[in-house]
Every structure is written in structure tokens, then in C-alpha cells.
Amino acid sequence: MIINLAKLMNSNDVKHRVSFIMDKLVLPEDIKLESPLEISLDIAFDNQIITVEGDFEVHLHSNCDRCIENASFALNVTIKEKLIKQSDLCYLSNLSQETIDEEYQVLYSLDLDLTDLVTENIILNLPTKILCSEACKGICPYCGKNLNKEKCNCANEQIDPRLAILAEFKK
């Protein structure tokens, strides 16, 4: 969804609420939306700084990183972005370039793509490991059985053949 900020800036209101529904997002690998996203964002103007804020919950579906079964999970995402038009960067001359790069997104046009902003914040909030449950046992590295569904008869203490000589020191 693209918002034309020029129209919002020309109104008398300092703060605007934008609500929309997203049913498609480009997410990494095999992560999919379970249901459409209902998002409300506040867009505020303070001199040259444009602030976009909002909270939403997204329900996603993927494969468990341990057992490869289906995994559904919810993320609470908070968006708080500070934007500045490229032509207004001179107003931040008292800040270092590093601070500007870390704290602000530079707008090269007054058309703000909220889809990119939402997608970026979802990706930044994704867990490093997606699990079907906290107690997931994964799959056996030797026989490949799903340890959540059945036990395997593999020896628990299989030693890497390269390190077998070190096991003799214990004896």
C-alpha cells in the first residue's frame, strides 16, 4: 500500500491514522501468512521528521527447524520509524552520518510504501529458530526418525570416528 505523504502534509492535522489489510507479503523461504493482516499506523509530522508508529500481531506458518513438521506462531510487531525527505537532510547537519543512517530512513519521494515497511519489521522480528513447540525433540541425526512421534534404537553415545582415540583416555 502506497501512501502519498504530500496530501497528508498539506492537511491541517499533525497526526493521521492509516488502516489497511494486507493478505500477501514477500517473506523469506517457506514462511507464509496464516490470515490477512489488519494494520493501523499513525503517521505524524513534526517539522521535517515524519514518524510512523503502530503495533500489530501477525500469525505465520512455517516448518519447525528441528523436526520439519508444521509450525504456526504469532509475532507481536511494533513499528516505530523516523523518516526524513532527502531534501530535508540539511536540517540534521548537527548529527553524524552514522546516527542519521541508524535512526532515520531517507525518503527519495513522497510516496511511502507501507508494504515494505511492514514486511521489513516482520522480518526483523522473526525468531532465529522456528519451533513447533518448545519441547520439540527434533529428528534423530542417525536414523532420521521424528523423536516427537517415536523413539529410535540408535545409540545415544555414538562417537565421531575422528575422535575415537580420545575416548580411550577415559578408560
pLDDT at 157: 65
Same domain? For 129 and 141 the reply is: no
Same domain? For 112 and 150 the reply is: no
Same domain? For 6 and 36 the reply is: yes
Same domain? For 145 and 83 the reply is: no
pLDDT at 65: 94
Q: What proportion of the chain, given as a percentage, has pLDDT over 90?
A: 49
pLDDT tens column, 41-59: 999 988 788 999 999 999 9
Residue 164 has pLDDT above 80, yes or no: no
Q: Please tell me the distance from the alpha carbon of residue 147 to that of residue 156, in angstroms, as a whole number.
A: 13
Residue 160 has pLDDT above 80, yes or no: no
Same domain? For 60 and 24 the reply is: yes
| pTM for this entry | 0.79
Lowest mean pLDDT among 3-17, 47-61, 135-149: 3-17
Same domain? For 89 and 152 the reply is: no
Same domain? For 161 and 112 the reply is: no
Same domain? For 9 and 46 the reply is: yes
46-55, 86-95, 153-162: which is most confident: 46-55
Mean pLDDT of 33-39: 93
Q: Please tell me the distance from the alpha carbon of residue 19 to that of residue 111, in angstroms, as a whole number.
A: 16
Residue 171 confidence class, pLDDT cut points 50, 70, 90: low
Per the structure, the count of domains in the chain is 2
Residue 158 has pLDDT above 70, yes or no: no
pLDDT at 156: 66
In this structure, which long-range contacts are made by residues 57-61, counting pairs with CB atoms below 8 Å and at least 24 apart in sequence?
Answer: 58/33, 58/122, 59/33, 59/34, 59/35, 60/27, 60/31, 60/32, 60/33, 60/34, 61/31, 61/32, 61/33, 61/34
Residue 118 has pLDDT above 90, yes or no: yes
Same domain? For 59 and 123 the reply is: yes
Same domain? For 118 and 163 the reply is: no
pLDDT at 99: 84
Domain extent, residue 146, equals 137-171
